[in-house]
Amino acid sequence: MSIEAIGCCGAYCGTCRVLKEGACRGCKLGYLSGERDLALAKCKIKVCCMTRGYASCADCADYSTCDILQGFLGKNGYKYKKYREALEFIRENGYDAFLVIADGWKNQYGKYR
């Protein structure tokens, strides 16, 4: 999978069962090609990230102070902690290292070791 399969928030669509079954179009898939209109996206994180030209929020200088992102990552639930972990991993290790690990997951998040 490509970097486009990494959601702005850190979710990894490349191994997501729902996407593979065709019940979801992914977090970012189709926006860069123009198949989908970013102006119609409801996700504030996606709109902000993609409008700024970032592959994910991991690229943003405002990462730690962004109210939109930190509000999302601060929600209760295991998946939000995993999305934060993904973004932190990308910030420290880069996209290529993330994709090597993430391609072995069974869901949109997983383990790093």
* pLDDT tens digit sequence for 55-112: 999 999 999 999 999 999 999 999 999 999 999 999 999 999 999 999 889 888 999 8
Examine residue 110 and state whether it is found in any structural domain, yes or no. no
Cα→Cα distances 68→44, 72, 101, Å: 7, 6, 27
DSSP H or E run through 38: none
Answer whether 0.75 is exceeded by the pTM.
Answer: yes
* Rounded Cα gap, residues 72 and 92, in angstroms: 21
Q: Residue 27 has what pLDDT?
A: 83
Examine residue 108 and state whether it is found in any structural domain, yes or no. no
What's the burial of 57, exposed, middle or buried (CB within 10 Å: 0-12/13-18/19+)? buried
What's the burial of 8, exposed, middle or buried (CB within 10 Å: 0-12/13-18/19+)? buried
Examine residue 112 and state whether it is found in any structural domain, yes or no. no
* Rounded Cα gap, residues 73 and 68, in angstroms: 9
Counted domains in the chain: 1
Examine residue 113 and state whether it is found in any structural domain, yes or no. no
Examine residue 53 and state whether it is found in any structural domain, yes or no. yes
Q: Residue 41 has what pLDDT?
A: 92
Give the bridge partners for 12, in sequence order. Answer: 6
Domain range for residue 49? 3-102
Examine residue 107 and state whether it is found in any structural domain, yes or no. no
Q: Where are the alpha helices (DSSP H) in the chain?
A: 17-20, 44-51, 67-73, 78-93, 95-102
Examine residue 43 and state whether it is found in any structural domain, yes or no. yes
Q: Residue 1 has what pLDDT?
A: 65
pLDDT tens for each residue of 15-58: 888 888 888 877 888 888 889 999 999 999 999 999 999 999 99
Q: Assign residue 10 a region (left: φ > 0; alpha: ψ between -120 and 50; beta: otherwise).
A: left
